[in-house]
Every structure is written in C-alpha cells, then in structure tokens.
Amino acid sequence: MKKAIQLYTLRDHIKTGEDMLNILGEVKKLGFEGVEFAGYYGLSAQVLRARLDELGLIAVGTHIGLENYVPGKIEETLEFHKILGCSVIGLGGAPTRTAKQLKYTCGILKTACERAAKDGIKVYFHNHSSEFKPLRNKVVPIDALKEACYLQVDTYWSFVAGVDNYKFLTENRDRIVHIHLKDGIGHHPKALGEGNCDLAAIIKAAKEIGLEWAILENDDPTPNGLADAARSMEFMKKNL
C-alpha cells in the first residue's frame, strides 16, 4: 500500500501558505507519497499543484467543511480539486447526532456525490466514534452515511467505538475509498505501534479489499507532528 499523511497531523507546523509549501517538502523527506489536505492557507490550486508535482506527491484527499458541498458551492469545490489532481474529496465530520442533523448532512452529501460522479470524483465522509452509536430512533448514522456517499474509515475511532475493523472494512468494501491508519490508547491517539489498536487486522483487511492508500493521522502528536510522523513512518515501512 502507498503511504499518505493527513496534514492535520502537522497543523502546528503550518500557519501560513509558505509554511504549507515547506511542510510538503518535509513530508516527502519522511517518505510519504501522498497527502490529504486539511485547509489550503490561502494558496491557489495551481500553486499547490505545482508544488506537489515538483515533489512527486499526490493529493489523495481533503477535509473541508460541509458548506463546500452544498449546491451553490459544489462547482467551485470540484474545479479546485480537479486542478489539484484530487479524485476523491471529503470532509472530516459534520453533525449527525440527531435525526434532523443526519438527514440534512446525508442530503447534502448524496447530492454532492451524484454531481461529483459526473466528473469522475468521489465524495467521502470521515468518521469518529459517534457515528457508530445509534440515535434515539435506532438509526446508526454510519449506515445512513454509507448510503449517501463513500466512507473514509478512521480505524482508530471505529476501534474505540467497539467495531470489528476487519469485518467492517471487508463487508463495506464497495463504499470505502480510504482508511486512516491510527493508533492510540483509550481516547488518546498515539504514533503507530505505540497503542493498542488492531493495526494488523486493519492492514490485512485494507489489502484484501484493494485499497491503494493508507493515510496516517494523529490528532494529538508528540512532541510535535513531524517527530510523531517519523516514528509512524518506521512502522508503515515495516508493515505496509
């Protein structure tokens, strides 16, 4: 599997557009082949694409807000990411904890997914643990979300929710575009190999269902994003 990193992991290193361009170089030095964005810091798609091409990096995805997928914004969103060379686009979360919120979020994502498909682009939702917990009406949000769009499975938060990751990944292979490979203890993310997540089962399932990319993410890296990512990269080199 190819190795990518969600740039939210490195957010403490990125305050400006210039920082973003520099950190992409550091990501390449660590051995990553792709990046998932979490904001663009005022940079145009053209400038970012030029930097990615210079470094030989691929834009494998993005986390932007739900507001970017509404009918009045979807065209602009698609155009930006086509320039970036990004064929799967998503969001890092949206309200789903009431039936009303879930219906609204799924409605926006379903319409966006149908429109994006015309341009050969897939739209995905990134889970946390709450999407696996039933609402008062017994509906499980993740079930509704996978009908509305594709999924990027954050395998640590699904693990925290008590999900059998191997079973979930293999049973939903047609709806999954990515995994976030993440480790941790309790509700505290760690570098890969430093927690108790079922990483071996996740990697086995990801390979079985033919996923191209494993995306590293750490919500709370220590002592900083680059050092934490470097430790995780050693695990990825040995296990992917």
What's the CA gap between 147 and 145, in Å, rounded?
A: 5
What's the CA gap between 59 and 100, in Å, rounded?
A: 33
Q: Parallel, antiparallel, or unpaired: how do β-strands 213-216 and 176-181 relate? A: parallel
Percent of the chain with pLDDT over 90: 99
User: 95 preceded by cis ω (within 30°)?
Assistant: no
Q: Regarding the domain with residue range 2-239, which homologous superfamily does it belong to in the CATH classification? A: Divalent-metal-dependent TIM barrel enzymes (3.20.20.150)
Return the domain boundaries, the chain. 2-239
What's the CA gap between 106 and 149, in Å, rounded?
A: 8
Residue 61 is predicted with a pLDDT of: 98
Q: 124, 178 in Cβ contact below 8 A?
A: yes
Q: What is the pLDDT of residues 142-199, one digit of tens each?
A: 999 999 999 999 999 999 999 999 999 999 999 999 999 999 999 999 999 999 999 9
Instruction: Look up residue 68 and give its DSSP letter.
Output: G
**Facing residues of 213 across strands?**
2
Angle at 35 between CA 34 and CA 41, to 5 degrees: 145
CA 107 to chain centre: 20
The structure's pTM equals 0.96
Q: 58 vs 3, 34, 50, 125, 151, CA distance in Å?
A: 10, 4, 11, 20, 20
Percent of the chain with pLDDT over 70: 100
